[in-house]
A = this chain, B = another copy of it.
């Protein structure tokens, strides 16, 4: 039996190295600290979204980085709950936060 695909898949860079150590810029700047907040917001908003932490996404200069698929929105500077809110507000409205886009 097939699984149900999430409507949105949000990837948050946690800078995992090959061996698993979370060491890079995104991690140091607190991207992973925001994971529980993002998960709660997804539930609160009733979004059909899955959140996945990742190894380095090679956008260290712009970290902490969050990428939203299937749209392919690459966001940088995701360092606060307010920024997460801004991104999720846009997502709900089918919009994009232009000034946070890095790609």
Contacts and interface: CB of A to CB of B under 8 A. Distances in A.
A11 B72 contact: no
Given A69-B72, A70-B70, 5 more contacts: A11-B54, A16-B20, A16-B53, A52-B54, A70-B71
A48 to B, nearest CB: 13
Nearest to A76: B3
B2 A67 contact: no
B50 A53 contact: no
Interface string A1-30: 011110001010010101111100000000
Interface of A: 2-5, 9, 11, 14, 16, 18-22, 32, 35, 50, 52-59, 62, 67, 69-72, 74, 101-103
Given A55-B14, A55-B16, A3 B102 contact: yes
